[in-house]
Amino acid sequence: MSDVCPECGGVLKFEPSRKRYICQSCGLSLSREEIDEIRYKDQKLNEEDEKERVRKEYLKWWATKK
Ligand SMILES: [Zn+2]
């Protein structure tokens, strides 16, 4: 699985000399740790979205029940 830029979705290319990943599209430079952190946050956000969606579905169901 290749890494994609969190900003533009471009391809991240590892530069051994700088030990950083550089986006080929927008030039964003990230370390391995930063990429992992961003990915972790994204995952968390998606989980929150899912919870929120389920809650809204429930509220809708509750509202139509009456
Ligand atoms: Zn980019």
Q: Is residue 26 part of a domain?
A: yes
User: Residue 11 pairs with which residues in a beta bridge?
Assistant: 4
pLDDT for res 29: 96
Give the domain extent around 32: 12-65
The total number of structural domains in the chain stands at 1
- CB under 5 Å of ion ligand 1: residues: 5, 7-8, 10, 23, 25-26, 28
pLDDT for res 51: 96
Between the CA of 57 and the centroid of ligand 1 the distance, in Å, is: 35
Q: Is residue 5 part of a domain?
A: no
pLDDT tens-digit profile of 9-53?
999 999 999 999 999 999 999 999 999 998 889 899 999 999 999
Asked whether residue 1 carries a pLDDT value surpassing 70, the answer given is no
Q: What sections of the chain are H helices per DSSP?
A: 32-65
Between the CA of 19 and the centroid of ligand 1 the distance, in Å, is: 17
Q: Is residue 44 part of a domain?
A: yes
pLDDT for res 39: 86
pLDDT for res 18: 94
Between the CA of 48 and the centroid of ligand 1 the distance, in Å, is: 25
Q: Is residue 45 part of a domain?
A: yes
Q: Is residue 6 part of a domain?
A: no
